[in-house]
Amino acid sequence: MKKKVGVLVSGRGSNLQALLDAAKDPAFPAEIALVISNIPDVFALERAAKAGVPTQVIPHKGFPSRETFDAAMDAALRDAGVDFVCLAGFMRLLTKSFVEGWQGRMINIHPSLLPSFKGLHTHERAIEAGVKLHGCSVHLVTPELDDGPLLVQAAVPVLATDTPDTLAARVLEQEHKAYPLALKLLAEGKVTVDGVRAVVDAPGGGALVNPQ
């Protein structure tokens, strides 16, 4: 039985597309059951509709508080029978109660090699810091921003000629590999959380170093 996944989006949904493409494979252990956007008319909703996946728009501006907005999303996810939640460019901070309600079952992708460069403008900051490797991380979501046990990381070299845009483009290619892999590992039950660490029962333990 495939695990059901809900995806929260706010924009163009390129990582959503990577998940939708992966889910087309009959051997993939999860299916996208619902896509929720907090913003109407974003391209991610078109991607989901084209794939035949149900969508729902829950505008955050229509709620008096973060708590009531999160409660509406939670209800929609549970009504859809969702097992796991993926954040794919979802640009809202989630309340502690929502996060704790999906603890161990909600993942996020962040464009840096965490714990370095949490927050925004990761590519600019990586170049400014002079790091030689940059990349992306998929992690279990905790109440702290861009924190939580790491499931998969993919690394790319930072070139002397890189701009934030060229570096972002290379990292995005790896995001599209790392996110489906992380969801696959989670859905297959190959992730065990030990304190702040996630132990991944897979070759490489969730590392994609300079993937080609």
Q: Answer yes or no: 110 catalytic.
A: yes
Catalytic residue chosen out of the listed positions 110, 123, 134, 176: 110
**HSE-CB for 95 with a 13 A CA cutoff:** 14
Distances (CA, A) of 2 to 15, 20, 152, 191: 20, 14, 21, 17
Phi–psi pair at 25, nearest 5 degrees? -70, 120
Q: Is 4 helix (H, G, I), strand (E, B) or coil?
A: strand
- Tokens matching residue 93: 């901070």
State the Cα–Cα distance between residues 9 and 44, nearest whole angstrom: 7
- Tokens matching residue 14: 């390129």
- Tokens matching residue 31: 């299916």
Q: To the nearest 10°, report the CA torsion of 110, 115, 117, 123.
A: -50
Residues classed as catalytic: 110
